[in-house]
């Protein structure tokens, strides 16, 4: 540039001390461009840790409930966690409805935890909300606790027939996963 200037060119432009220089703009623009590029590269580097397509493909399961007799429950595996699907007896439904919801630690009525018209089907995660143990009570002959639902042997949490926590250290009721009925006795969980 200096070469191309005529010999009698005006002296170099004198800038006020606080003025912005063209070079400042170039620095900021370069930095911003590099930062945006780096951020764009980081996205796939971070995102690769999210569940992969094959894991997500297994994220929902179909469950046939027709063979479960009243009073029985089955265990299934969903997203690596146990699922308890239970066919409540009329007596169990009554017991769950008789409880005053306001007195519960995690106030939920049976109707909040089952689908309308299918309240005999109680589908929950088999993961104690205290420290993540698998409660007993889904298999024949297992201890169902003081309230006839599930019992966690790790730290003694008792769940009732709507799988609501009634006693022990667990803070919440057993989680109800998202599910929908395809037919009256077949559900898709997840």
Partner 1 sequence: MSFPWAKQYQPQGEFSKFIDSRLPLPRFIYGALGAGYPTPKNLNYFYNFGVLAGVALVVQIITGVILGMHYAANVSVAFDSVEHIMRDVNGGWMLRYMHAVGASFFFAVVYIHIFRGLYYGSYKPPREVLWMLGLVIFLLMMATAFMGYVLVWGQMSFWGAAVITGLFSAIPVVGPAIQTWLLGGFSPDNATLNRFFSLHYLLPFVTFGVIILHIWALHIPGSNNPTGVDVKGPQDTIPFHPYYTAKDFFGLGVYFTLFAAVVFFAPNALGEVDNYIPANPLSTPAHIVPEWYFWPFYAILRAFTTDFLFIPAKLWGVIAMFASILLLFFLPWLDTSPVRSNAYRPLSRALFWVFVAVVIVLGVAGGKPAEEPWVMLSQVLTAYYFAHFLIILPLVSRFEKTLPLPNSISEAVLAKYRKTGSMAPGALAQPAE
In the complex with partner 1, the residue whose CB is nearer, 5 or 139, is 139
Judged by CB under 8 A, which of 15, 29, 36, 55 binds partner 1? 55
Task: Supply φ then ψ for residue 78, to 5 degrees.
Answer: -135, 125
Q: Which of residues 60-119 bind partner 1 (CB under 8 A)?
A: 75, 77, 79-82
Task: For the CB of residue 72, give the shortest distance to partner 1 in the complex, in Å.
Answer: 18
Cα 154 to Cα 130: distance, rounded to the nearest angstrom:
9
Of the candidate spans 9-17, 107-115, 131-139, 141-149, the one that interacts with partner 1 by CB under 8 A turns out to be 131-139
Quick check: 42 binds partner 1 (CB under 8 A)?
A: no
Helix (H/G/I), strand (E/B), else coil: 13: coil
Q: Is 155 a catalytic residue?
A: yes
**Cβ 180 vs Cβ 173: under 8 Å:** no
User: Which one of 87, 130, 155, 158 is the catalytic residue?
Assistant: 155
Judged by CB under 8 A, which of 4, 50, 67, 183 binds partner 1? 50
Cite the beta strand spans of the chain per DSSP E: 61-64, 73-78, 81-87, 121-125, 148-152, 157-160, 165-167, 179-183, 186-189
**Cβ 146 vs Cβ 167: under 8 Å:** yes
Quick check: 167 binds partner 1 (CB under 8 A)?
A: no
The binding site for partner 1 (CB under 8 A) comprises: 46, 49-52, 55, 59, 75, 77, 79-82, 126, 131-134, 153-155, 169, 171
């Amino acid at each position: 540039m200096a070469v191309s200037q005529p010999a009698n060119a005006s002296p170099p432009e004198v800038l006020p001390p606080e003025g912005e220089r063209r070079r400042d703009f170039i620095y900021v623009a370069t930095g911003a461009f590099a930062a945006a590029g780096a951020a764009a590269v980081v996205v796939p580097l971070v995102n690769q840790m999210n569940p992969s397509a094959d894991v997500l493909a297994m994220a929902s399961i179909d469950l046939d409930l027709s063979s479960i007799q009243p009073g029985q429950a089955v265990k299934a595996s969903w997203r690596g966690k146990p699922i308890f699907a239970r066919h409540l007896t009329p007596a169990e439904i009554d017991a769950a409805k008789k409880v005053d919801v306001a007195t519960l630690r995690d106030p939920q009525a049976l109707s909040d935890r089952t689908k309308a018209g299918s309240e005999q089907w109680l589908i929950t995660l088999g993961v104690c909300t205290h420290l993540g143990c698998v409660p007993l009570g889904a298999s024949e002959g297992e201890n169902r606790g003081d309230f006839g639902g599930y019992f966690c042997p790790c730290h003694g949490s008792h769940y009732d027939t709507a799988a609501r926590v009634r006693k022990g250290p667990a803070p919440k009721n057993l989680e109800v996963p998202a599910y929908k009925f395809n037919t009256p006795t077949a559900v898709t969980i997840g």
